[in-house]
Amino acid sequence: MGKRRERRVAPSSDRRQARDNSDARVDQFREQAASERRLFTIFILFFIVIPAVSVFVYSVKYAPNSDRTVTSAHQDDGLVKTDISYQEILNDNSKVSENASHRHYTYPILAYITPWNSKGYEMAKRFANKFTHLSPVWYDLKSQGTGLILEGRHNADTGWISDLRMKGDAWVLPRVVLEALPKELLRKKKLRDKAIDLIVSECK
């Protein structure tokens, strides 16, 4: 009589355990793939779709329509061009609009009038209605010993101011050129107060 063979149950349980492990790995892989797909979808949505929709909405709602032809007095005069060369700038730099009375904008318009521009005062008178504020360079704030002095009252042109008043309602706000040492002026409160007092008394 031969030996009885024992039945082995281990291989089938090993197979079942291996199958369970592989199923668990497959499930884990599927979950990881689904998670990556979700992240990719969120990435596409936030970084591609939303910006593309925003650009489209902006271009439809706010961007100027190229079919529209906007005409203004400046375009009719040839003062405003889109394609221009440096030679045209050199040739036409002194060309101005013939309309000297109508202001196209409601917000404040400031013009600086400098002594080195000989036509500045005349242009300001001619286009007085277009400006709300005019700022000529008239005064110099200078150091004198330990104090300050304000010079330039002789530069103030009262005749020019009265001509401006007849043509428009622009405010004249003279500029004060600071020739004093700015470091000293900023450090010392007495000097600052003196500078303010000099300018205020000149305005009165």
Q: Are residues 122 and 191 both part of a single domain?
A: yes
Judged against a pLDDT cut of 60, whether residue 71 lies above it is answered with no
Judged against a pLDDT cut of 50, whether residue 70 lies above it is answered with no
Q: Which residue type, as a one-letter code, is found at position 162?
A: S
Least Cα distance to 126 among 179, 80, 163 occurs for: 163
Q: What is the pLDDT of residue 66?
A: 45
Which helix (H) or strand (E) element contains residue 51?
helix 50-61
Q: What is the pLDDT of residue 77?
A: 58
Report yes or no on 86 lying in a domain. Answer: no
User: Mind listing the pLDDT tens digit for each residue in 104-157?
Assistant: 778 888 888 887 887 888 888 888 888 888 988 888 888 877 778 888 888 888
Domain that holds residue 26: 12-66
User: 9: helix, coil or strand?
Assistant: coil
Report yes or no on 3 lying in a domain. Answer: no
Report yes or no on 112 lying in a domain. Answer: yes
Q: Which residue type, as a one-letter code, is found at position 84?
A: I
Report yes or no on 101 lying in a domain. Answer: no
User: 5: helix, coil or strand?
Assistant: coil
